[in-house]
Amino acid sequence: MKMYIIVRRDLDRITQSYKYVQGMHVVAEYLLNHKTKWNNGTMIALGVSNKIALEMQKMKLIQHNIKFSEFYEPDIGNQLTAIACVCDGSLFKRLELL
């Protein structure tokens, strides 16, 4: 299984590296909250255009009963910035690499 990290691309408006920091936060959140067979294997970072697109990915995970973690950034009003899960990735075939 691979770990998928999905981050909002619109975070570039804050700083170029902001989206990568959000990805690191959500990975830490996932590892704190879930027992996993991932074992520090492959990580794939994907990007979505904005908060609405990220919420849509979150809803897919809920519908398919896939465990995930989400990160809400306190510095920007506790907005959802990233989600992470360990799965086969079939839900994310249309997403582009971050």
Reference 98, options 2, 13, 3, 7; nearest CA is 7
- pLDDT-based confidence at residue 40 (cuts at 50, 70, 90): confident
For the chain, domains (ranges, CATH) are 2-92 (3.40.1490.10)
Residue 60 Cα to chain centre, angstroms: 13
Write out pLDDT tens, residues 4-30: 999 999 998 778 789 999 999 999 999
Strand residues in 13-98 grouped as ranges (E): 43-48, 68-73, 79-87, 96-97
Q: What is the mean pLDDT of residues 37-50?
A: 91
Burial class of residue 30, CB neighbours in 10 A (0-12, 13-18, 19+): buried
- pTM for the full predicted model: 0.93
